[in-house]
Chains A and B, each alone.
Chain A
């Protein structure tokens, strides 16, 4: 163990060394040569005044401040009366199913035990049974080919060279209405046009003489029959107005009109639809879309006026950037809407087709306000949730599948039909149907894998994705000289009928073969598989 050095020994060493150093220094001064002797001098006194604060004396000033007095006043308030109220919603009881009790009814248990053996025996036998292999019942006369049932036209409209711009079947499936107008006019036209209806179930149907003709002061671009009232029909005009007629009143069919107010569209209305009201599902509202970028929901109020109840505006800046869309340099630019289709599974979800060629997924429940300067009595909202990848040209028609919640078709002027799933931006599959434009595409209401398309070459093409996913199964030539077919609609009540209107002013009603109206055994599963993988 090391012992610490004693401090005494260190000090002694230091003190012993100091005198030695001092002696050494003194010696050093006197050492070399004989320096001058040290003299004493007295210099003047130098004094530096003290700057210590205390010597300088205190210099101070007195200041004071006082906050202004606060004005106060006394007042009192007392609620005179108050009331307590409570509300409680009741959860809706499920329809007619008795809530399951914890204890099984003993008679129910006895019943189930009695029948269980018999039922399981039958289920097992069924699983392995070949009794019904290849057994197919034909309830109706099978139709092998597609044939034209009726050729309808209105000679005065055809004489003016008007096109059939839109057709619609009514709620009972027996009346077909068509709208005359022109689809290739570039500017304002004061052409008078017509809305004609034919009742196909009536005897003595005269194909040249419609049962009802309504004269309209401007070209009608689109039509839609009311889904419950067989005689109400809504139409959108070239001037941007939306009118509703009641064709059961021949003397004055006009029921409601929007008039030309600040709310109405400023561009041609491309499509109108009837929508059930959210609370009263028996009342309907009219939805109209136009190329000024507005999607408007109209409500019929008294005195024949259609009032705006909800509105949406589409502005390029507010489109979600799911895919690359060419953005204009500045300013709010409206996105022209040319087609609309609602999903049959979700009443708030709808798909819009636009002039830019990209379909948009939108919701009626959107709350975000649209950045638009268009005047409107109801604040316009931006409904777009998702942008799909575009076509090569404007999309004139979209159609949502009635059998699958995520699939929809869109047809554009590039001659292609795209099958989209709501879940992804790229189309699942893309079919080229025509070298010219495609004006309309519709899913079949009975067969999940069938759709029809109207082409600019005068043909109605029927596709059966189960048989052949590249070529049309049937291609019907509607016009002899290749003038385009502008619109087509399936009849949801009489499912073998398909109506198509063309540029010569003729509407043809086609009867489809049974191959297109009878559902095969595994179609819904095939459709689901198609949605997942795309076409093979």
Chain B
């Protein structure tokens, strides 16, 4: 997956894109394995520092990183 638009710096973008694409594919196959009629619509990963949201699609992937106020 190559990044098309980004608001972060290039190296971080490339890192996020590569890693999250793999994770999204794995999540999608997990959902399909549990129930073949089901499909992945949205992926959220919450970490200590922020929350990463991934909206998957056939051709594109939208990744949003939010810093929730603590």
Contact among A96, A115, A119 with B10 in the assembled complex (CB-CB below 8 Å): A96
| Per-residue contact bits, chain A 84-114, to B (CB 8 Å; 1 contact, 0 not) | 0000000000111110100000011001101
B3 touches A115 (CB 8 A): no
Segment at the A interface, from B19-27, B31-39, B42-50: B42-50
Q: What 1/0 mask marks residues of chain B from 2 to 17 whose CB sits below 8 Å from any chain A CB?
A: 1111100011011000
- B contact residues around A23 at 8 Å (CB): none
B3 pairs with A96, CB closer than 8 A:
yes
CB neighbours of A127 from chain B (8 A) = 66, 68-69
C-alpha spacing A94/B10, complex, angstroms: 7
Task: List 21 interface pairs A-B (beta carbons < 8 Å), by A numbering.
Answer: A94-B10, A95-B10, A95-B11, A95-B14, A96-B14, A97-B3, A97-B6, A97-B10, A98-B2, A98-B3, A108-B60, A111-B57, A111-B60, A115-B55, A118-B41, A118-B42, A119-B64, A122-B42, A123-B53, A127-B66, A127-B68
A8 beta carbon closer than 8 Å to chain B: no
On chain A, the residues within 8 Å of B48 by CB distance are 519, 521
CB distance from A347 to the nearest CB of B (A): 16
The yes or no answer to A522 lying at the interface (CB within 8 A) is yes
Would you give the 0/1 interface string for A490-534, flagging 1 where the beta carbon is closer than 8 Å to chain B?
Answer: 000000000000000000000000000001011000000000000
CA distance A21 to B10 in the complex (A): 114
Q: Is residue A129 within 8 Å, beta carbon to beta carbon, of the partner chain?
A: yes
- Known interface pairs A96-B14, A111-B57; 14 further A-B residue pairs with C-beta atoms within 8 A, sorted by A's residue number: A95-B10, A95-B14, A97-B4, A98-B4, A100-B5, A115-B62, A118-B55, A119-B62, A119-B64, A122-B42, A127-B66, A127-B68, A132-B68, A521-B49
How long is the Cα–Cα vector from A123 to B66 in the complex, in angstroms?
Answer: 8
Contact partner, B70, options A114, A123, A522, Cβ 8 Å: A522
Residues of A within 8 A of B41 (CB): 118
The closest CB in chain A to the CB of B5 belongs to: A100
Q: Is A126 engaged at the interface, CB distance under 8 Å to the other chain?
A: yes
| Chain A residues at the B interface, C-beta cutoff of 8 Å | 94-98, 100, 107-108, 111-112, 114-115, 118-119, 122-123, 126-127, 129, 132, 519, 521-522
Contact present for A108 and B14 (CB under 8 Å): no
Our count of residue pairs bridging A and B at CB distance below 8 angstroms stands at 59
Contact assessment for A521 and B14 in the assembled complex, using a CB-CB cutoff below 8 Å: no
Residues from chain A with a CB closer than 8 A to the CB of B10 are: 94-97
* B59 and A111 contact, CB distance less than 8 A: yes
Nearest CB of chain A from residue B45's CB, rounded to whole Å: 12
Contact B3 A126 (CB under 8 A): no
A122 near B44: Cβ-Cβ < 8 Å: yes
The complex places the Cα of A9 from the Cα of B48 at a distance, in Å, of 119
User: Which residues in A have their C-beta under 8 angstroms from that of B69?
Assistant: 127
Q: CA A98 – CA B10 in complex, angstroms?
A: 11
Closest 3 CB pairs of A and B: A115-B55, A111-B60, A94-B10
| Complex: A115 Cα to B69 Cα, angstroms | 24
In angstroms, how far is the closest chain B Cβ from the Cβ of A482?
40
Nearest Cβ on chain B to A135's Cβ, whole angstroms:
9
CA distance A112 to B60 in the complex (A): 9
Is there contact, CB below 8 Å, between A129 and B68? yes
- Residues of A contacting B14 with CB < 8 Å? 95-97
Chain A residue nearest to B68 (CB atoms) is: A126
CA distance A129 to B42 in the complex (A): 18
CA distance A119 to B62 in the complex (A): 9
How far does the Cβ of A324 sit from chain B's closest Cβ, in whole Å?
42
B6 CB → nearest A CB, Å: 7
Query: Given contacts A521-B70, A522-B70, is CB(A126)–CB(B51) below 8 Å?
Result: yes
CA distance A122 to B6 in the complex (A): 20
A123 touches B64 (CB 8 A): yes
Q: How far is the CA of A115 from the CA of B11 in the complex (A)?
A: 25
Given known contacts A96-B3, A96-B10, A521-B49, is B70 in contact with A126 (CB within 8 Å)?
A: no
Best-surrounded residue of B4, B13, B41, B69 (most CB of chain A within 10 A):
B4
* Contact for A107 among B5, B59, B62, CB less than 8 A: B59
A126 touches B13 (CB 8 A): no
Q: Which residues of A contact B2 (CB under 8 A)?
A: 96-98
Whether the Cβ atoms of B62 and A126 lie closer than 8 Å is: no
Residues of B near A122 (CB, < 8 A) are: 42, 44, 53
**Of A107, A119, A129, A132, the contact of B55 (CB 8 Å cutoff):** A119
Q: How far is the CA of A123 from the CA of B53 in the complex (A)?
A: 9
B3 CB, min distance to chain A CBs, angstroms:
5
In the assembled complex, the CB of A525 is this many whole angstroms from the nearest CB of chain B, namely: 11
A114 to B59: give the CA distance in the assembly, Å: 13
Q: Which residue of A lies closest to B48 (CB)?
A: A521
Q: Across the interface, which residues of A come within 8 angstroms of B66, CB to CB? A: 123, 126-127
